Structure 1
Amino acid sequence: MAGFKFEVFPAVELNITLGILVTVDNRNYGSSKYQNATAYISYRGEVVAEAPIADDTIPARGKHNISTTMNLIPDKFVKNPYFLADAVGTGILNFTSTTTLHGKVSLFKLVKMKGTSFCTCDISIFVMPKTVNSVCKAKFTL
């Protein structure tokens, strides 16, 4: 945990900052340079966390680590009327993350094109066994 903030006055507020690491496996023959972006995490349609993504380059046919911090605002999902039923009743909290990266693709350093990558992940947190499952779908357009 990178940071923790708890305030009681003027209103109860709780913010948590988590350090995260995402590994991208680029199986393509082209490298991709992307601009600064933000990943959003939603719980039942409401954004409950944001993670800034700094501009960088993903090499062709390689793996690339992206480090960032996620600013989680628990108040937003704890106040959701479904939170207790999900956390206690089913024991599963379902989140969705969305990220859009704009940038340029370079193929063999000869061909350069603008492109956009869209990624959506369905994240399930199982409360009692304390496990997480995620399924991601990515799409790239030129």
Structure 2
Amino acid sequence: MTSSKPSDATVTSPQQPYYHPLPAEAHNHNDPPQPPPQYIYLLPRYYNNDNGNSPPFLSRKCQRRLICLIPLLLILGLAVFLLWPSDPEISVVRLRLDHFRIHTFPKISLDLTLDLTIKIRNRDFFSIDYKSLIVSVGYRGKQLGYVTSDHGHVKARASSYINATLQLDGVEILSDVFPLIEDLTKGEITFDSVTKIGGQLGLIFFEVPLEAKVSCEISVNTHNQTIERQNCYPE
């Protein structure tokens, strides 16, 4: 009588997987052994202030110092701008011809008297002590005469007025005789006047020299002996 129990040979094998492992790389036993692979890791640099290394960016302490320094620099720049000495401004506020006469015998000469009022304006926060004020008059670029006033004082951020009288008596004109005769024929002579002031700024520890200059062109009518026009400009 045969047994109904199946034999071991007929037992079914388990289910095979759906993938197969990759074959191992062929290796020749005669080749030398290969070194293990090497890897390089890049890490950010770490700065330690205890070692004296400073970071590439400003620390908070430096940033606070910089923020405090900027207003100080602005205040210092503003103070230099306001306190830096500058030359005074001078202008001719009044110009009057008191006397004018041309002499033709025995030599060609002229008499001229000018009254001027000069305004000196001090723009600085310090006073100005000027040593002298010089007013000169010329004809065709050649000086005929000048007058000098005494020294004076101008307060800070203030203006001062100076009266000056320039008087010429019998001044001979030798090199410009023919141009003068031509101007007399036209009935108008143009003179040039230069007003110059020199002084110093009244600082406590040191003195700063200052200078200002203004020039005027004066056209005189020889018939009625009056000033036809004048043009003054600073230099």
- Same-fold status (TM-score > 0.5): yes
Identity %: 17
Amino acid at match of 1:94: T
User: Which residue of structure 2 lines up, in the alignment, with residue 22 of structure 1?
Assistant: 117
Taking structure 1 as the reference length, the TM-score comes to 0.66
Taking structure 2 as the reference length, the TM-score comes to 0.44
Amino acid at match of 1:100: K
| Bigger relative contact order, structure 1 or 2 (CA pairs below 8 A, ≥6 apart) | 1
Task: Give the ranges of 4+ consecutive aligned residues of structure 1 lying more than 6 Å apart after TM superposition.
Answer: 11-15
Amino acid at match of 1:84: I
User: Which residue of structure 2 lines up, in the alignment, with residue 94 of structure 1?
Assistant: 190
CA contact (8 A) 1:118 1:138 kept: yes
User: Which residue of structure 1 lines up, in the alignment, with residue 215 of structure 2?
Assistant: 120
CA distance in 2, matches of 1:97, 1:103: 20
CA contact (8 A) 1:120 1:136 kept: yes
CA distance in 2, matches of 1:65, 1:44: 29
CA distance in 2, matches of 1:97, 1:71: 13
Cα pair distance change 1:15/1:122, threshold 3 Å: closer
Cα RMSD, aligned residues only: 3.6
SS of structure 2 residue aligned to 1:75? strand
Cα pair distance change 1:136/1:52, threshold 3 Å: same
Aligned-residue offset at 1:23: 3.0
SS of structure 2 residue aligned to 1:24? strand
User: Which residue of structure 1 lines up, in the alignment, with residue 201 of structure 2?
Assistant: 105
User: Which residue of structure 2 lines up, in the alignment, with residue 5 of structure 1?
Assistant: none
CA distance in 1, matches of 2:149, 2:162: 8
Aligned-residue offset at 1:81: 2.0
CA contact (8 A) 2:114 2:167 kept: no
1:98-123: CA deviations, max 9, x gaps? 2332211348x899522111222222
Larger Rg computed on CA atoms: 2
Listed as ranges, the gaps of 5+ residues in structure 1 are: 3-7
CA distance in 2, matches of 1:69, 1:19: 6
Listed as ranges, the gaps of 5+ residues in structure 2 are: 1-97, 100-104
Cα pair distance change 1:93/1:62, threshold 3 Å: farther
1:9-34: CA deviations, max 9, x gaps? xx779785747241305162444221
CA contact (8 A) 2:140 2:191 kept: yes
Count of aligned pairs: 131
Greater helix proportion: 2
- Partner of residue 150 from structure 2, selected from 45, 51, 54: 54
1:25-83: CA deviations, max 9, x gaps? 51624442211243221011222221112111233444422123313144324872211
CA contact (8 A) 2:216 2:230 kept: yes
